[in-house]
Amino acid sequence: MEELNQKEISPLTSVDEWEDDVLDRYPEPGPAKTKEEFRNYNDPKQVAVREFYRLNHKYQTYNNVLAKKANFLQFDKKEMPWWAAMEYLNTLVDDSDPDTSLDQLQHLLQTAEAIRADGHPDWFILTGFIHDLGKVLCLFGEPQWNVVGDTFPVGCKFSDKIVFPEFFADNPDTYDERYNTKLGVYSQHCGLDKVHMSWGHDEYLYHITKDYLPEPALYMIRYHSFYSQHREKAYDHLLNAHDHDMFKWVDKFNPYDLYSKSPKPPVVSELRPFYEDLIAKYLPATVKL
């Protein structure tokens, strides 16, 4: 891969800008936006989002994913208690962001507390609490487009249901006969466990937690950004019956991920004992990153 400049590493002022754009595309049910309000690309943030996806779609190749798995799935970057890892994630906060004063930990607590308030199982609550921990990839020098963004399969034709599909014209896999057919390197209904997803915080955290959490939790973590599937059903030809059954849990999780943010911060000191007990129930004492 060509050497990246700073803008190609960090086109967004904050990784939260991608999540704000998801909310713009998939707003909470309510009064519809007018055409003039929707995705105004003259807005500086929308310009940054477009640039982010231009880079994401250019560089998220099959070989990129294999290389990142070979590197990061060694889990040799850091080891620390889970709560310390959540606090480490807080260093991603951008003080220049005018839209929120909440740090990453508070956002995750809001998600988890909304799940808890609705009476879901404790492993579901824990999933809400840790689901964005994989964003620590940014702190290991990964460019933002290799950490956040809508996820999608690599190794087969890129769907036109993925956001900004025109930017895949710059991706070399688009012209590689091994990867540019509907099935590519896969087979019909092979199952998502055989599919390589674009690299990012979802895939990374899935591999960190896959030996510890129930399967529905793992689907929530691994596919919560796979919007072209759970919104558009663009990859039904790769899913098997088990995937379709498990995606019911992804559908349950996503409203909490998208719509639980609020300007009122949770009281971290009051909630910490509950979440540390929950971590101890399901996860090892330390997390290897």
Q: What is the DSSP annotation of 53-90?
A: HHHHHHH--HHHHHHHHHHHTT--S-EEEHHHHHHHHG
Partners of 197 in beta bridges: 153
Q: Is 236 among the domain residues? A: yes
- As a whole number of angstroms, the distance between CA 21 and CA 76 comes to 33
pLDDT at 212 over 70: yes
Q: Is 269 among the domain residues? A: yes
Confidence at residue 99, expressed as pLDDT on a 0 to 100 scale: 42
52 or 23, which is more confident: 52
Q: What is the average pLDDT across 89-93?
A: 80
- Domain count of the chain? 1
pLDDT at 101 over 90: no
pLDDT at 135 over 90: yes
Q: What is the largest CA-CA distance in the chain?
A: 56
Q: Give the range of the structural domain holding residue 167, as residue numbers without chain letter.
A: 6-288
pLDDT band at 264 (very low <50, low <70, confident <90, very high): confident
Between the two ends of the chain, the Cα-to-Cα distance in Å is: 24
Confidence at residue 279, expressed as pLDDT on a 0 to 100 scale: 98
- The C-alpha angle 9, 13, 16, rounded to 5 degrees, equals 100
In one-letter notation, the amino acid at residue 258 is L
Among 24-28, 111-115, 136-140, where is mean pLDDT lowest? 24-28
Q: Over the chain, what is the mean pLDDT?
A: 91
Q: What is the average pLDDT across 204-217?
A: 98
Q: Is 195 among the domain residues? A: yes
Q: Is 1 among the domain residues? A: no
Q: How far is CA 206 from the centre of its chain?
A: 10
Q: What is the average pLDDT across 25-42?
A: 59
pLDDT at 95 over 80: no
pLDDT band at 259 (very low <50, low <70, confident <90, very high): confident
Between helices 268-282 and 122-130, what is the axis angle to 10°? Answer: 110
Q: What is the average pLDDT across 189-202?
A: 98
Confidence at residue 30, expressed as pLDDT on a 0 to 100 scale: 62
Q: Is 264 among the domain residues? A: yes
Confidence at residue 20, expressed as pLDDT on a 0 to 100 scale: 87
- As a whole number of angstroms, the distance between CA 154 and CA 80 comes to 32
Confidence at residue 93, expressed as pLDDT on a 0 to 100 scale: 56
Q: Both tokens of residue 260? A: 């639980």
Q: Is 106 among the domain residues? A: yes
Q: Both tokens of residue 253? A: 């999780």
pLDDT at 230 over 60: yes
10 or 265, which is more confident: 10
Q: How far is CA 161 from the centre of its chain?
A: 17
Q: What is the average pLDDT across 138-160?
A: 97
